[in-house]
């Protein structure tokens, strides 16, 4: 059975658009995650994804948490 290499969703999504003519300083990243029974779950980008997001010049990230949503500005 072939198993594709695992890439976090943020990187998979951003890889599809990273070479487009986009002003990434205006881009917001939204990461949504839920448990199998439909409850929101922590989806804060990991350090590697945050670094990738930051390198593209993206400053605003939004993600689900165990109890709702959170927003951060990356400098």
Nearest Cα neighbor of 62 from 23, 20, 25, 27 is: 27
Q: How far is the CB of 6 from Zn ion (least distance, A)?
A: 10
Number of amino acids touching Zn ion (CB under 5 A): 3
Q: Quick count: other Cβ atoms within 10 Å of Cβ 27?
A: 16
Q: How far is the CB of 29 from Zn ion (least distance, A)?
A: 11
For Zn ion, the binding residues in 27-56 under the rule CB under 5 A are 46, 49
Question: Are 36 and 20 within 8 A, CB to CB?
Answer: no
Nearer to Zn ion, 8 or 40 (CB): 8
Question: Are 63 and 34 within 8 A, CB to CB?
Answer: no
Q: How far is the CB of 72 from Zn ion (least distance, A)?
A: 14
User: Where along the sequence are the contacts to Zn ion (CB under 5 A)?
Assistant: 8, 46, 49
């Amino acid at each position: 059975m072939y198993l594709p290499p695992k890439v976090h969703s943020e990187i998979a999504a951003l890889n599809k658009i990273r070479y487009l003519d986009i002003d990434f300083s205006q881009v917001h990243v939204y990461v949504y995650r839920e448990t199998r029974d439909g409850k929101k779950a922590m989806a804060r980008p990991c350090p590697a994804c945050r670094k990738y997001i930051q390198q593209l010049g993206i400053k605003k990230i939004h993600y689900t948490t165990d109890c709702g949503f959170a927003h951060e500005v990356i400098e």
